[in-house]
Structure 1
Amino acid sequence: MRALVTGANGLLGSNLVRELITRGHEARAMVRRTSNVEGLAGLDTSMVYGDVRNIDELTRAAEGCDVIFHTAAVFSYWGYTREVMMETAKGGVTNALDAAKAAGSKRVVLTSSTAVFGGSDGPKVLDEHAALVEVGVPDYFASKAIQERVALEHAAKVGVELVVANPSLFVGSYDYRPSASLATITGYLGDPLKITYPGGVNIIHAGDVAIGHILLAERGEPNEHYVIAAENVTWREVHDTISELCGVPKPRIKVTRTPALAAASLMELAAKITRKAPLATRALAEQTGRYFWYSNAKIARLGFLPRSMRQTLTQTIAWLLVSPHLTNKQRAKLRPHDDVLQAMRQAQVAQRLKSVRIQDLS
C-alpha cells in the first residue's frame, strides 16, 4: 500500500506513519511548513508540505497513492471559533475526496470520533447505530458529526470509496504538540487536589487507533462507520490507575456537574486574561458525569485487538516522562511504577533515533 497521511505530525498521524512503515507499506506524510515534525523523527518517510484546505496542494500530495488517511483536524476545546472548526472539517474532507478522485486513489479513510455519537447519562454502551449528535455538545463534537455527513454525501457524489473511523479518546507516544487528550494525564498530575468525577470514558492507545485505520483501509466496508475503542472504564478507574503508575495520591474529591461548570467559568475568565488555554471549558464541563462508553465489536470482526487501559496509560506515561512536556521539578514529584520504568527505557531508546529523511515534494 502507498498511503498519504494528512495531519501526519499529530498524535494519530505520527503513530499511523510508524505503523504503516512497520507493516511494510509506503507512507507519505503531509504537514504544513510550520508544523513540528519531531514525532516523525527517525522514520523512513517522505514529506510533502501543504494545507488540506488547498486542493491543489492536496491533489499533488496524493499522486501515486492508493489510500488517503485524512487525520488532519482542529482538535481543541478552546481558541478556535465554531466557524473555523466547521470550515476546516468540511473543507478538508471534501478536498481529500476530490484529491483522491483526481489522483486515482482507491479509498479515503476519514478520522472522525466517537464524540459524534455523544454520551449517555448512565453506563450504557453505544455503537455505530447511535444517531449523530450535532447540537448541545462542544463545537469539536459537532464539527466531526457534520464532517461525517458532508463526507458521505460528497463521496457518493464523486464516486470515491470512503470508510469512517470513529476512535474513542486516545493518548500515546509522540504527542509533541501536545494534544488536548494528553491533558487527561497532565491535568490530573498537576492538580494538587487530585480531583476525579463521575461518569465513564473509553480510552485507547494511539498506536491501536493507527492499526484500526489500516484494517479499515484494507478490509473496511465502504460508506460504513467503525468504532475504534478499547476498555470502557469509569473516570475513577482512570485516575486511580494514573496515581498507581506515577506514585502519587489517589483522587481525594469527586466533582459533579454544577461545581465543574462553576470552576470552568472561572478558568475561562482566567484564560482570557492570561491568553493560555484553560484546563476545562464550560462546554466540556456540561459533559461531566456522562458515560462515553462504546462497543468495538464491529471492528473486532476484522481482527482488531487493542491494549488494556492500564497498558495504554503505562506506555503513555513512560513517553511523557522522557518528553519535553514535564519539567525536572515535575518529574521529581513522581515515583513511577516498575512497569513505567521498563517502558521508559524502551521510550528513551526510541528518543535517540532522531534522523528523519525529509523529501520536499512541494
Structure 2
Amino acid sequence: MTAQHEEDELAQGDLVLVTGATGFVGAAVAKAARAAGYRVRVTARQSSDRRNLAGLEEQAVYLDLAEPDSFPAALKDCRYLLHVAADYRLWVPNEAAMRKVNIDGSIALLRAAQRAGVERSIYTSSVAALGLTDDGSPADETTLILPAHHVGAYKRSKYDAEQEVRRLAQEQDIVIVNPSTPIGPGDVKPTPTGQMVLDAARGKMPAFVDTGLNVAHVDDVAAGHLLALTQGRSGEGYILGGEDLMLRDLLALVAELSGRAAPKLRLPLAPLMPLAWAMERIAERTGKTPLMTPDILRMAKKKMFFSTHKARTELGYAPRPARQAVEDALIWFRKEGRLT
C-alpha cells in the first residue's frame, strides 16, 4: 500500500484494532470506525472502566501497553491499527511509569503491528507534543519546538514518543494525529477538561486564569482519525483541532448554556504558585491528584492555540464550532445524571 491513500482503496469490513477504546477519544474513534463499516476490535485492561464499550463488549480483547506479550493476540488478522491509548494525567507521582506506557509501550506496539502484517497504523499523539508561538498566534505542525514548551510529565512523554514514532515511520506506514482539547459526549471519567466543564456548569468555577486553549468536538477528532487512515501521508502529522478560545470565553459559554452567570474574577498566576507548590507536596504524600501544581500554572502562561489548515486541506477535516462541543457535552452529562 502506498503512503497516499484514497478512500475507495479501503475495503469496507476490514478489521481495525482500536486501543484506548475505554477512554474518551478512543471510544469515539471506535464508534466512528464501526459506523464507517469497519469491523472493530477494541482493547481493554482488566482494571479498565468499560462503560464506554457499550455495544463493543464482544469485540473487546485484553491489551496492556506495559505487557508486550499481550500484543500479538490483539493484533491477529487486523489490517489497520488505530493506537489511541495513552496514560493521560496532568500530574503523576512516578513519571517513569508514564513514560514506560506512552513511549516504550507505544513503540513496541507499533513494531508488533508491523510484524503482524498490519498495513497502516494511526498513532494518536497530542498538541502537547508540538511547539507554541511566542505571541499567542495559532501554532501548526511546523512551529519550532523548544524544551520550555514541554512542561510536565505528560507533555514530555508525548513529545518523546512522537519523535520515536517519526523515526519508526521511515520503516513502516504510520500517520500521526495531534488532537487538541476534546469536549463532547462520552466523557465518563471525566477528563480534566470534562471535569472543568462540569464544575463550570455546576457554578463551581467562580474564577479563571488568563490562558487559552483549542477546543474540538470529540466526534470531529474521531472523524479525523479515519480521514488520516484513508487520506494521510505516512510520517506526517495532522492537528485535529477546533476553535481557539480564551479560558474565560469557554467558561462563559458553559455558563450561558447552563443558565448561570459567567465567572468574572481573573486570577494572576504568580501569587498562586506557592499554593500550587503546597498542593503538589500534599499530593506526593497522599497519592491524590492535586487541584493545581506548579507545572499546570507554567502551562497556563502559554496560549495553546493551533491551526487545523493542514488537516483541512490534506484530509478534508471539517471541525464544528466549540459551542456545539460544549452543548453536546452538557446534554450527555445531564442524561448521565451528572447535572441536575
How high is the TM-score relative to the length of structure 1? Answer: 0.84
Q: Give yes or no for contact 2:178–2:239 (8 Å, CA) kept in 1.
A: yes
Which residue in the other structure is 2:11 paired with?
Answer: none
Listed as ranges, the gaps of 5+ residues in structure 2 are: 1-13
1:279-312: per-residue Cα shift (whole Å, max 9, x none)? Answer: 2221011122421111101110221111210000
Q: Give yes or no for contact 1:29–1:45 (8 Å, CA) kept in 2.
A: no
Q: Give yes or no for contact 1:168–1:229 (8 Å, CA) kept in 2.
A: yes
In structure 1, what residue type is equivalent to 2:155?
F
Please report how far the alpha carbon of residue 99 of structure 1 lies from its aligned counterpart in structure 2 after TM superposition: 1.6
Cα distance in 2, alignment partners of residues 80 and 202 from structure 1 = 27
Q: Give yes or no for contact 1:163–1:217 (8 Å, CA) kept in 2.
A: yes
Please report how far the alpha carbon of residue 103 of structure 1 lies from its aligned counterpart in structure 2 after TM superposition: 1.1
1:125-159: per-residue Cα shift (whole Å, max 9, x none)? Answer: 11000234445511111110000111122333xx3
In structure 1, what residue type is equivalent to 2:38?
H
1:203-218 to 2 correspondences below 5 Å: 203-218=215-230
Which residue in the other structure is 1:146 paired with?
Answer: 160
- Tell me how many residue pairs correspond in the alignment: 325
Please report how far the alpha carbon of residue 93 of structure 1 lies from its aligned counterpart in structure 2 after TM superposition: 1.6
Q: Give yes or no for contact 1:53–1:95 (8 Å, CA) kept in 2.
A: no
Deviates most, 81-90 or 183-192: 183-192
Aligned counterpart for 1:95 among listed residues 108, 115, 131: 108
Aligned counterpart for 2:127 among listed residues 114, 126, 134: 114
Determine helix, strand or coil for the equivalent of 1:294: coil
Please report how far the alpha carbon of residue 177 of structure 1 lies from its aligned counterpart in structure 2 after TM superposition: 2.4
Q: Give yes or no for contact 1:117–1:133 (8 Å, CA) kept in 2.
A: no
In structure 2, what residue type is equivalent to 1:182?
G
Aligned counterpart for 1:199 among listed residues 187, 200, 211: 211
Aligned counterpart for 1:246 among listed residues 254, 258, 263: 258
Determine helix, strand or coil for the equivalent of 2:176: strand
Q: Give yes or no for contact 1:70–1:110 (8 Å, CA) kept in 2.
A: yes
1:4-27: per-residue Cα shift (whole Å, max 9, x none)? Answer: 011110001111111011111111
1:10 maps onto 2:20 in alignment: no
Which residue in the other structure is 1:310 paired with?
Answer: 323
Q: Give yes or no for contact 1:201–1:233 (8 Å, CA) kept in 2.
A: yes
Which residue in the other structure is 2:179 paired with?
Answer: 167
Determine helix, strand or coil for the equivalent of 2:299: coil
Percent identity over paired residues: 28
Cα distance in 1, alignment partners of residues 196 and 65 from structure 2 = 28
Please report how far the alpha carbon of residue 123 of structure 1 lies from its aligned counterpart in structure 2 after TM superposition: 2.8
Cα distance in 1, alignment partners of residues 39 and 146 from structure 2 = 36
In structure 2, what residue type is equivalent to 1:323?
E
Please report how far the alpha carbon of residue 274 of structure 1 lies from its aligned counterpart in structure 2 after TM superposition: 5.5
Deviates most, 56-65 or 181-190: 181-190
Determine helix, strand or coil for the equivalent of 1:60: helix
Cα distance in 2, alignment partners of residues 120 and 26 from structure 1 = 41
Determine helix, strand or coil for the equivalent of 2:90: coil
Q: CA RMSD in A?
A: 2.0
Aligned counterpart for 1:68 among listed residues 81, 87, 101: 81
